[in-house]
Structure 1
Amino acid sequence: MGELTDLWVGVQNWLFETFVGPVIFWLGQMAWYEPAYNAVEFVMLGALQIAVIALGMRFFEKRWPLEKTGDDRLIGVDRVYTVLNKLGIIPFAIFVITYPISQEIELLMRSWGMAPPRIERLVPWLGDNVLASFLVYFVLYDFAAYWLHRAQHAIPWWWALHSLHHSQRRMTVWSDDRNHVLDDFLTTLALVLFSQMVGVQPGEYVTILVVGRLVESWSHANVDMSFGRIGERLLVGPRFHRLHHALANPEERHIHDHNFAPVFPIWDILFGTAIYDGKHRPTGVDDPVIDADNGRGWAVQQVTVFGRFLRAITPRFLRAPFQPGLRPPAE
């Protein structure tokens, strides 16, 4: 293990000293030296995640696919999302915006004499158990992510963004990162601020993010698998999460408003949003406007969905100005 750690750090140092460091020095942005060094590791972790998805998770999809037929061309854009997000291109842009905000909030809290609490201060024995401490912060993070996910469905303008994630008819391990940039920004900012408030350290946050995203990638897999009767109530799997992406129908208009939890199903169980019925349902959305996302490329999807967002936040009377002498069409 020590040799692997040394190899990992060695590669990170080489990449930073060869490529990233000189660019930062040339731009005169030495204040970003430490964040940039950490960003190199984030990119390396992203490449590792892509390898796990492509070589590991895809093996199960190819060997035991739930949906054996369909238009595989729809999956191509999801691969683009995965590369852009896992290699840190989109997260870097978001980080550049959120980092100054989070730093200002931290400085403001300290000027008020408020330091982010650490769970270890409340439960001292956790300080001697790294794994237990990590799990506690992981559970808190997932709890916040559960409620943010419910907000994405409940708030109309946020659903206008998040609906892009649900529009995919061919859900696979590549689908997890299929999100609008603004949607990613809002959730990232909220989770970063929450993590600061409960005292999650930067190193812990990165680990939580990587582990959580791998679980979420697997939960989107095109396989009919779970972790067993007990296990599927402890950890989200493909069968549990697939229901969340189910195509609504007249009998189940709000079927996708269930199974929100990213990693731990306990939140759905506690708050009455869990469904365990084992039924196989097609995925996608029943709104033709949103369904039209399928077949579009990354850039067109981003522009189109942003248009949906703008219409959602525009007051109704501005969207359809009144014209004297005209009546609404008869239903």
Structure 2
Amino acid sequence: MIHEIVAQLDNGISTLQTLLYVDVVQPFFYRFGLMGYDEDTYDALYWVIVGVLEILVTYIALRPLEALRPIEAWSDRKALRADVIYTWIAKLGIINIAFFFMLQPLFDHWQSLMAIYNVPNIDVDGLWPGVTDQPVVSFLIYLIVLDFFGYWYHRWQHRFGVWWELHAVHHSQQQMSLWADDRNHFLDDIIQAAFFAAVSLFIGVQPTQFVVLVAVGNFMQSVQHVNARLPYGWLLERVIVSPIFHRRHHAIGYGHEGTRYGCNFGVLFPWWDMMFRTASWDPTVEPTGIRDQLPVPHGAARSYGDGLIAQQWRAFGRIAMRLRGQRNYGGVTD
């Protein structure tokens, strides 16, 4: 059933992709002598359409919840403007898909070498014939495997000082909302895209599956950041990451400090936090952000930038300070 729905969506998006390409993109490229980019652009157009649809679905599904059941009430939403821009840039997915296809030839070559030397290849579909070769089952396996790597990737972002300064762009948002999940430093986005594209190719994810995996993961992360009280309950909250669980990760004094450099690192599922003892189930709503954003004497009244460009640029300034030994905020002392 789910496989049929995905197939129908894929056909619909592919039809729209062809129409837009033939009627809009191709004439434009021909007019300005850009036909050398037509094939790559056609492939990227699919991802762009998926991204636009994803943003629309996310907004329609989550924005009313923020209005009806907010965790925090705000009189001013200006702080969210940059996050909206981040979302459009990230959800269009150009970085992710570019790395996936750029790394594909390298992994094809690697797999050829493995075949020559009789090294067994990773084949999730063949783990349990009749079960793991079912589209829904293989999709869930890929989702869980990628989330496991996502947990450790996220912990590394908090553990290593220079890397934290990039990730701090995400944590510096003091007004959590459905737009906050894509608020990241672009260099961090590039590193993350390369990492997960490599992992996906290594475990055998196909291009169509990769698009759906990213889309599902993006939506789930938008839900986690939503400024709304959602009735997950004890059981569901231990199956998938809830807004309250993830909000604890963003809480000042809890989410990025201490001997473990924070808590609740799970990207989609809280299982890894439970397994590696980094879970905090305290539902108390705490202020979000980074400690040195607080006014003196509780913090340093540091600004992480009000707009996208300032937020990107100031991260490099913080990295320079850390390399000179002038900064150790966020619980990271490397």
Q: TM-score range by the shorter chain?
A: 0.7 to 0.9
| 1:292 maps to amino acid | S
- Taking the aligned partners of 1:291 and 1:163, their CA distance within structure 2 comes to 12
- Taking the aligned partners of 2:97 and 2:316, their CA distance within structure 1 comes to 20
Deviations 1:214-242 (A, max 9, x none): 00001001123242110100011111110
The answer to whether the 8 Å contact 1:246/1:256 transfers is no
Of the three residues 187, 200, 207, the one matched with 1:202 is 207
Q: Which moved more, 1:92-101 or 1:275-284?
A: 92-101
| 2:303 maps to amino acid | A
| 2:235 maps to amino acid | I
> Is 1:191 matched with 2:201?
no
Of the three residues 316, 319, 322, the one matched with 1:306 is 316
Q: Give unpaired runs (5+ residues) of structure 1.
A: 321-331
- Taking the aligned partners of 1:48 and 1:269, their CA distance within structure 2 comes to 34
In the superposition, the TM-score normalised over structure 1's length comes to 0.84
User: Match for residue 179 of structure 1?
Assistant: 184
Q: Give unpaired runs (5+ residues) of structure 2.
A: 294-299, 328-334
Q: Which moved more, 1:193-202 or 1:95-104?
A: 95-104
Structure 1 runs (4+) greater than 6 angstroms displaced: none
Of the three residues 244, 252, 262, the one matched with 1:239 is 244
Deviations 1:204-223 (A, max 9, x none): 11111100110000100112
In the superposition, the TM-score normalised over structure 2's length comes to 0.83
1:108 Cα deviation from its structure 2 partner: 3.7
Q: Cα–Cα, structure 1 residues 81 and 171, in superposed 2: closer, same or farther, change >3 Å?
A: same
The answer to whether the 8 Å contact 1:226/1:238 transfers is no
Q: Cα–Cα, structure 1 residues 79 and 115, in superposed 2: closer, same or farther, change >3 Å?
A: farther
Residues 76-115 of structure 1 correspond to what in structure 2 (within 5 A)?
76-86=81-91, 88=92, 91-93=93-95, 95-96=97-98, 99-113=101-115
- Taking the aligned partners of 1:15 and 1:183, their CA distance within structure 2 comes to 31
1:187 Cα deviation from its structure 2 partner: 0.9
Q: Cα–Cα, structure 1 residues 56 and 292, in superposed 2: closer, same or farther, change >3 Å?
A: same
The answer to whether the 8 Å contact 1:243/1:259 transfers is yes
- Taking the aligned partners of 1:315 and 1:106, their CA distance within structure 2 comes to 42
- Taking the aligned partners of 2:181 and 2:220, their CA distance within structure 1 comes to 10
User: Match for residue 292 of structure 1?
Assistant: 303
- Taking the aligned partners of 1:280 and 1:27, their CA distance within structure 2 comes to 52
Residues 165-176 of structure 1 correspond to what in structure 2 (within 5 A)?
165-176=170-181
Q: Cα–Cα, structure 1 residues 22 and 141, in superposed 2: closer, same or farther, change >3 Å?
A: farther
Identity %: 32
Q: Cα–Cα, structure 1 residues 304 and 27, in superposed 2: closer, same or farther, change >3 Å?
A: same
| 1:27 maps to amino acid | L
Of the three residues 149, 152, 155, the one matched with 1:150 is 155
How many residues of Structure 1 are paired with residues of Structure 2 in the alignment?
A: 309
Q: Cα–Cα, structure 1 residues 96 and 9, in superposed 2: closer, same or farther, change >3 Å?
A: closer
User: Match for residue 11 of structure 1?
Assistant: 16
- Taking the aligned partners of 2:174 and 2:208, their CA distance within structure 1 comes to 36
The answer to whether the 8 Å contact 1:70/1:170 transfers is no
